[in-house]
């Protein structure tokens, strides 16, 4: 039996590189040889035991690779095609998928309350030499020849999620948008707001490297919450409040501040995943009479989403490669987790080469 190397979750605080059998694709599935992937914030939570997954699962959910084998019934693709696969791999056929909520796909084994098939969360992921893609017909997106792995790898999760914060928030031409947290997802949310036509994008964080990167990636104003009353500052820069505030961290403080910095009629677009209790103070919510909207979005996946995002890159509207600040081999992945987890050396995203 042929084997591959893979980064496997072993239990709270423990993960290791293991040799596992190379999966064989069944009907509707595809085997992809991974050429580039990443370490994501969720992976850190998984390894630390803060996000429950089953021991034995291969971690990782931002894959770019080459089709190595196609299962029966997968048409329109060839072995050797370069493909991008979204972090969430919807079936394309269930009630949620056909209603347009692909990230809420709830079909078949592996379904969990927070959504359907999620690479590295409910099914084996991408930090491995090979990845088995379920519902391949709905999830393989060919990469245009002129685009490199590095140019597209972040579309699988952080860019799809970040941009969706602006899309779900309904950002309109001329809007002022405040984005709370300027990690990779927050910066992508800010970029998404610009793509949607925002006239002013304000990024809020308390980490010098992240604030610098936000500026470099086109955020108009960066606010350091360590030094400023950010709600008052957002109101000052926007003559009374942001049209849309995007929350990209997932804690009470940023959620509440995002709500407080809105103008009446504004939208809070929440991307964070909250654990524990989340309170909405009545005063921050204008006692319910502020015409506020609160919307949430989970990483949109599926091949059409990936195709659209790759077009944004191909037409040079956005370049995400500056966010790939570090690179490690799969064998050295623990070093990558350490750099990412301890936020060393201005790290934003760590690329992993199997």
Q: Interface with Zn ion includes 242 (CB under 5 A)?
A: no
CA angle, corner 120, sides to 23 and 31, nearest 5? 30
Length of the chain: 354
Contact with Zn ion (CB under 5 A) among 157, 167, 233, 243? 157
Q: Interface with Zn ion includes 138 (CB under 5 A)?
A: no
Q: Among residues 105 and 178, whose Cβ is nearest to Zn ion?
A: 105
Q: Interface with Zn ion includes 156 (CB under 5 A)?
A: no
φ and ψ at 245, to 5 degrees? -115, 130
Which helix (H) or strand (E) is 243 found in, with range? strand 242-247
DSSP 8-class letter at 112: B
Least separation, in Å, of the C-beta of 223 and Zn ion? 25
* Maximum alpha-carbon separation in the chain: 66
Least separation, in Å, of the C-beta of 60 and Zn ion? 9
With CB under 5 A as the contact rule, which of the stretches 23-31, 149-157, 230-238, 327-335 interacts with Zn ion? 149-157
Q: Interface with Zn ion includes 42 (CB under 5 A)?
A: yes
* 185 φψ region: left (φ > 0), alpha (ψ -120 to 50), beta (else): alpha
Contact with Zn ion (CB under 5 A) among 40, 185, 310, 320? 40
Q: Answer yes or no: are the C-beta atoms of 188 and 320 closer than 8 Å.
A: yes
Q: Interface with Zn ion includes 248 (CB under 5 A)?
A: no
Least separation, in Å, of the C-beta of 99 and Zn ion? 9
With CB under 5 A as the contact rule, which of the stretches 15-23, 98-106, 225-233, 301-309 interacts with Zn ion? 98-106
Residue reference for tokens 């239990």: 11
φ and ψ at 70, to 5 degrees? -115, 135
Binding mask 76-95 for Zn ion (x = CB under 5 A): --------------xx--x-
Contact with Zn ion (CB under 5 A) among 105, 126, 185, 242? 105
Q: What is the Cα–Cα distance from 284 to 252, expressed in whole angstroms?
A: 12
Q: What residues make contact with Zn ion under the rule CB under 5 A? A: 40, 42, 90-91, 94, 97, 105, 107, 157
């Amino acid at each position: 039996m042929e084997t591959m190397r893979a980064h496997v979750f072993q239990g709270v605080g423990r993960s290791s590189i293991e040799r596992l059998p190379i999966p064989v694709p069944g009907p509707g599935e595809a085997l992809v040889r991974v050429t580039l992937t990443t370490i994501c914030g969720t992976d850190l939570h998984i390894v630390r035991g803060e996000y429950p997954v089953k021991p034995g699962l291969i971690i990782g959910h931002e894959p770019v690779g080459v089709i190595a084998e196609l299962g029966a019934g997968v048409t329109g693709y060839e072995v050797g095609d370069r493909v991008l696969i979204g972090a969430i791999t919807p079936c394309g056929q269930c009630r949620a998928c056909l209603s347009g909520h692909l990230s809420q796909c709830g079909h078949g084994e592996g379904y969990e309350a927070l959504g359907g098939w999620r690479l590295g969360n409910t099914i084996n992921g991408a930090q491995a030499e090979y990845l088995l893609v379920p519902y391949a017909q709905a999830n393989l997106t060919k990469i245009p020849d002129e685009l490199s792995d590095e140019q597209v790898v972040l579309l699988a999760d952080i860019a799809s999620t970040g941009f969706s914060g602006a899309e779900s928030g309904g950002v309109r031409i001329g809007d002022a948008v405040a984005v709370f947290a300027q990690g990779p997802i927050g910066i992508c949310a800010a970029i998404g707001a610009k793509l949607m036509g925002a006239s002013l994008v304000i990024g809020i964080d308390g980490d010098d490297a992240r604030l610098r990167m936000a500026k470099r990636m086109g955020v108009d104003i960066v606010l350091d919450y360590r030094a400023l009353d950010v709600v008052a500052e957002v109101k000052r820069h926007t003559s009374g409040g942001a049209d849309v505030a995007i929350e990209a961290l997932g804690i009470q403080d940023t959620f509440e501040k995002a709500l407080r910095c809105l103008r009446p009629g504004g939208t809070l677009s929440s991307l964070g995943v909250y654990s524990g209790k989340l309170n909405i103070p009545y005063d921050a919510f204008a006692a319910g009479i502020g015409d506020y909207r609160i919307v949430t979005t989970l990483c949109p996946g599926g091949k059409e989403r990936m195709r659209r995002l790759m077009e944004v890159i191909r037409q040079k509207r956005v370049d995400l490669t500056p966010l790939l600040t570090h690179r490690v081999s799969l064998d050295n992945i623990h070093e990558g987790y350490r750099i990412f987890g301890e936020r060393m050396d201005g790290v934003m995203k760590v690329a992993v080469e199997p």
